[in-house]
Amino acid sequence: MKIKLIYIIIFFLIFLIGTRGYNYFYSEYLPYDEKTSEAIYQHIEKDSGIICVLIPHKTHYRIGERPELDVLIINKTDSTIYLPGNMDGSSYGFRLPVTDFKVLNRKPRKYGLFCPMFNPMVPDELRRVKPGECFNPFNTYRIETIHYAADSILGWDAQTLTRMKNYWPHEALDAHNFLLPGNYDIQFVYSTKKDSTVLMGLNISNEWPKEKMNILDSIPVVELKSNVVRLKYRIF
């Protein structure tokens, strides 16, 4: 009888703790709190020129969950500019733009193996950003329409498919980088500064017609740092 009672008490405690943790998590399941919102607003207002803003979809996560973050690069100048998105190799620092989601309060992440034979940049991957407009370097940059002919042998009907071409995702936001509970203070960095070891990775083949070569001169040389966003990871 005593043993059964002990088991009942243990089960009740586990249920109570689990339920409180579950309810606590979803009670704070918000896009971002007022403090984060105010920090983003101040970052936009105080800076001029070309600025970078990091916006979280929410600030509370379970461990092992991939964070949802939007990056906006805002053109607050009086000129139209062209910006490349996150390219193949950008997140490893091997080609421009160099990008990174830095976790300021934790040890720097270790990069895995990377093949240096990355894809060259083509004109469609440069986004035109007018004064007052913004640009997300991880969004879709082109929508392709593909036409398939009918094939009587395979039994396929003629069809037209549409697919989106996206910039490359960033490995720093992979779920395995967020396995420990606690706070993660994240800042996004975007750089087009050229040096002898990092190049833009241009494709100078037929995909770059002569009339579009002058676009390359409209790529500003910048090193942008976003506002800092604190993400809270919990077990429950």
pLDDT score for 89: 82
- Name residue 71's amino acid: V
The span from the CA of 5 to the CA of 7, in Å, is 5
E-only strand ranges, the chain: 49-56, 60-62, 69-76, 81-84, 98-103, 126-129, 134-135, 140-148, 159-166, 182-191, 223-225, 229-234
Q: Do 43 and 3 share a structural domain?
A: no
> In the structure, what pLDDT confidence band is assigned to residue 17 with cuts at 50, 70 and 90?
very low
pLDDT score for 26: 36
pLDDT score for 178: 92
Q: Do 108 and 24 share a structural domain?
A: no
Rg of the chain on CA atoms, in Å? 23
Q: Do 210 and 101 share a structural domain?
A: yes
Residue keyed to tokens 């060259």: 120
Q: Return the structure tokens found at 58.
A: 């929410």
Question: Sign of the CA dihedral 195, 205, 118, 216?
Answer: positive
Mean pLDDT across 155-179: 72
The total of other beta-carbon atoms located within 10 Å of residue 23's CB is 11
Q: Do 230 and 125 share a structural domain?
A: yes
Q: Do 6 and 67 share a structural domain?
A: no
Residue 58, pLDDT > 80, answer yes
> In the structure, what pLDDT confidence band is assigned to residue 92 with cuts at 50, 70 and 90?
confident
> In the structure, what pLDDT confidence band is assigned to residue 37 with cuts at 50, 70 and 90?
confident
Report the domain count for the chain: 2
The span from the CA of 178 to the CA of 62, in Å, is 9
Measure Cα distances from 98 to 24, 169, 200 in Å: 38, 13, 9
The span from the CA of 113 to the CA of 76, in Å, is 38
Mean pLDDT across 206-210: 68
Q: Do 175 and 154 share a structural domain?
A: yes
Identify which has the larger pLDDT, 27 or 128.
Answer: 128
Q: Do 104 and 5 share a structural domain?
A: no
> Out of 47-61, 77-91, 155-169, which region has the weakest mean confidence (pLDDT)?
155-169
> Out of 34-48, 71-85, 197-211, which region has the weakest mean confidence (pLDDT)?
197-211
Mean pLDDT across 176-204: 80
- Does the predicted TM-score (pTM) go above 0.85? no
Give the range of the structural domain holding residue 125, as residue numbers without chain letter.
33-234
Q: Do 21 and 41 share a structural domain?
A: no
161 forms beta bridges with: 146
pLDDT score for 101: 94
Say how far residue 188 (Cα) sits from the centre of its chain.
9
Q: Do 81 and 70 share a structural domain?
A: yes
DSSP letter (8 states) at residue 33: -
Q: Do 99 and 38 share a structural domain?
A: yes
Say how far residue 118 (Cα) sits from the centre of its chain.
19
Q: Do 25 and 139 share a structural domain?
A: no
Q: Return the structure tokens found at 34.
A: 């007022």
Percent of the chain with pLDDT over 90: 27
Q: Do 21 and 98 share a structural domain?
A: no
Determine whether 142 is exposed, middle or buried from the number of CB atoms within 10 Å of its CB (0-12, 13-18, 19+).
Answer: exposed
Identify which has the larger pLDDT, 107 or 189.
Answer: 189
